[in-house]
Structure 1
Amino acid sequence: MSRRPLLFVVAAAALTVAGCSGTTGGTASPAPASATDSNTGGSGGGSAPKVPAPLNVSSIQSNACATLSSAKVSQLKLSPGTPRTGSAGPSCTFTYADDHGNQIDVSTVTANKNGLSDVYDTKANDEYFEPTQIAGYPAVYAAALDHRGKGKCGLFVGVTDQLSVNILAQLDNGADAKTPCPVVAKVGEAIVQTLKEG
């Protein structure tokens, strides 16, 4: 079964997330559908590593702000999140408590049914694609445009084999603007801990 319409929706949503803050780039864009049509269930060549212990994602399926507990929001020195809903799924914008010009966007891409594998299968569209692990979970730094030197970094974390969480830092001010990727890694660790705690 072709996933052509689904991938178009995810691509459009990724552009919407980037556009909300007046910036560009930051999220991986899907490849043309022909590159993914042969992949069945995320098990084809180039798909992501399996999630070792799927997390309980029921709380974040409709509310991406639930990806971070209030304790983690405070620990990360963020303000409470502002929820949004797009065609790809729920998202949430957290701003720095001391500088609202800096923000972290978190999206649960529920429209994408193959989790991190769909990110792997569209890596040809990314200017950077760097697999990693976050708190023992498969993850990848990836974005259609490489603006890491401008305070932007995108990270996808596989929380189940069917769902990944996209974390996008858009930092204009302060020391973190020079090194945005460690910031999204820290947020990713906090998300995994939040979901483990239920």
Structure 2
Amino acid sequence: MAAFGLLAGVVLAGCGATPAPATTTPTSGAATSASSAPNDAPTVPQPELDTAQIAGSPCSVLSTEQAREVAGSVRGEVRESPLGPSCRWLASDTPAKNHFSITVNNQLGGIAQLYARKSNFKVWEPAQVGGYPAVVAMDADARSKGLCRLEIGTAQKTVVAVQVQLTVGAADYANPCPRATGIGEMVVATLKGGS
């Protein structure tokens, strides 16, 4: 089953490790063009958000003030990802009680590609973040264990993934997706400021 490697993140999350940015393996026919996108795939509004502005420093996708709000005094760490620029914040030992990553996926075709593969996901919940199409898309439903992965369509060929793993004891532990959405709203606001 071609889908995000979120299962690995779920296994690691159960061990208290930081969830790795999920990777997606394209299936045959993964290069769906806009003309062959699924009928229910939302269109990305104009202007598309330019993620090139953060390519060299992906942790700058959150301003210092935004990062402090969601990660306390923890600084983001740049991570290697085959999907594109990525940053993680390890704030599980802070009052924020979370660790999260933000990955710009500019390799696999955007939100239309996710919609083309939506039957592969156990959790599929369309949403909007900052006026842009988004979806909670997860291979396994680990939300009750503090894990949520939100994909935001920022351009026709780009999604920004926000993956949150809350620490046991967080007040919202069993409902992590609103926290992922809040971080996603910050990401969109930052990108809109630079578009």
* Sequence identity percentage: 29
Cα pair distance change 1:120/1:62, threshold 3 Å:
farther
Matched, 1:73 2:67: yes
Q: Please, which runs of 5 or more residues in structure 1 have no aligned partner? A: 1-7
Change (3 A) 1:100 1:70: same
- Give the CA deviation at 1:175: 0.9
Question: Is 1:45 matched up with 2:38?
Answer: yes
Q: Distance in 2 between matches of 1:147 and 1:191?
A: 23
Q: Which runs of 4+ in 1 moved over 4 A?
A: 14-21, 23-31
Closer, same or farther: CA 55–93 of 1 in aligned 2, 3 Å: same
Q: How does 1:117-132 map to 2 (within 5 A)?
A: 117-132=112-127
Alignment partner of 1:56 is 2:28 = no
Which whole-Å CA distance do the structure 2 matches of 1:184 and 1:20 have between them? 18
For residue 20 of structure 1, report the CA deviation from its aligned partner.
6.8
Aligned partner of 1:5 in structure 2 is: none
Q: For residue 76 of structure 1, give the secondary structure of its aligned residue in structure 2.
A: helix
User: How large is the Cα RMSD of the aligned pairs?
Assistant: 3.0
Offset, 1:29: 4.9
**Residue 145 (structure 2) aligns with:** 150
TM-score (norm 2): 0.80
SS in 1 for 2:101: strand
- Between the aligned partners of 1:24 and 1:73, the Cα distance in structure 2 is 18
TM-score normalised per structure 1: 0.79
1:62–1:89 Cα contact (<8 Å) kept: no
Inter-CA distance 103–25: structure 2 relative to 1 (3 Å threshold): closer
1:94 to 78, 89, 94: 89
Distance change in 2, residues 1:166/1:28 (3 Å): same
Give the count of matched residue pairs: 186
* Separation (CA, whole Å) in 2 of partners of 1:110 and 1:172: 29
